[in-house]
Amino acid sequence: MRYLLPFIATAALIGCSTYQNDSRSGVDSARLSQALSAQEEKAKERYNARNPQQTIEFFGIEPGMTVVEALPGGGWYSKILLPYLGNDGRLIGVDYAQEMWPLFGFFSTDQIEAKKTWTADWTKDANGWRNSGDDAYVAAFKFGDMPATLSETVDAVLFVRALHNLSRFNDQGQYLSSALNDTMRVLKPGGIVGIVQHRAPEDAPAASVKGGRGYLKQSDVIAFMKKAGFEFVGSSEVNANPNDQPAAEDIVWRLPPTLFTSREDEMLRAKMNAIGESDRMTLKFRKP
C-alpha cells in the first residue's frame, strides 16, 4: 500500500524531555514557535488550555523524528507537528481498531463502514495539511493491524486525549492492551510515549474512571503503562486545571469545547466555560 511506504528510520537522536534537562536534546523551540504561529486562529484559541509548545517540549519531540499520533482526528496536533518535524521527519496517524467502533453504540452503519478506509482517507487529508515540501511525510495504520515494516522505526508515540476509550472497551476486546503492545513494538529502544489525558481525582470511585466518562486516574495510567513494560520518566502539570473537579457522574464533554450538557442552558454553559477545558495529566514514558 503506497501510503505505508517508505518507512525509513531517521538518524535523529531519541528525544530528551525538558524534565530531564539533557544537553543532548534537539528540541527546537524557535522552530516550534514558528509552527504554532502559522496555525489558524481557531486552533490558537485553544493554546492557553492545551499548551502545545510546553507539551511538545516536555515530550522531547525533535525535528526529523518519526512520530506516531494516536487518534489524530481533524489534525489539531498534526498540523503543528508536520512543519515542526520537517521533511526529514515522519508523522504516522493511528486509529482505533475497526471492530471497536460498533461498541460505542451511536455510530451509524454507514459511519462504521466508512472507517474501513480510514488509513487512506486520513493520509490523503494529512497530505493536504502539508503546506510545503519542508513538512513531514505522512502515513497511517490502525491499532491491531500495525505493518511489520514499522517495527522499531518510531521515535515517539503520542496519546493526546486518546486513552480513555481504549480503556473503556478493554474488557470487550483488549483494545488498550493491543494498542500498548503495538506501541512497544513500533518504538525504537529508548523511544518515548507522551500522554495527555483527562484526569480524574484519585479518590474517584473505580466505576467512574474506566474511561466512559472521559476521565482516568493518573495512578491507573502509570500502573498500566508500567505493566505494559514502559519506564516512567516523569510528569508535568503544564496541562493541569484545578478548576475541573468532576463528580463521579460528570462527563468530560460537559466542558469546552464540546459543552455537551449545556447546549440549551445558557447559565450552565457559562458555568462550564468558567471552568475551562479539563484537568489533564501529562506523562512521559520510555521503552527500555
Task: Report residue 285's pLDDT band, with 50, 70 and 90 as the boundaries.
Answer: very high
- Average pLDDT for 170-183: 97
Please tell me the predicted confidence (pLDDT) of residue 5. 36
pLDDT(251) > 60: yes
**Average pLDDT, whole number, for the chain?**
92
Task: Give pLDDT, residue 37.
Answer: 98
| The pLDDT value given to residue 133 | 81
| Confidence label for 212 from pLDDT (cuts 50, 70 and 90) | very high
User: Global pTM?
Assistant: 0.91
Question: What average pLDDT does range 177-188 have in this prediction?
Answer: 98
The pLDDT confidence band at residue 132, using thresholds 50, 70 and 90, is confident
Give φ, ψ of 206 to 5 degrees: -55, -35
CA angle 60, 18, 71 (to 5 degrees): 40
Give the separation between CA 288 and CA 276, rounded to whole angstroms. 37
What pLDDT does residue 25 have?
74
Contacts of residue 80, Cβ cutoff 8 Å, sequence gap at least 6: 32, 35, 36, 39, 52, 56
pLDDT > 70: percent of the chain:
92
The whole-number pLDDT of residue 3 equals 35
From 22-31, 42-51, 56-65, the region with the lowest mean pLDDT: 22-31
Give 21 or 108, the one with higher predicted confidence: 108
| C-alpha cell, 3 | 501510503
Would the pLDDT of 234 be above 90?
A: yes
Residue % of the chain over a pLDDT of 90: 90
Q: Which of 40, 115, 118, 120 has the alpha carbon at shortest distance from 79?
A: 40
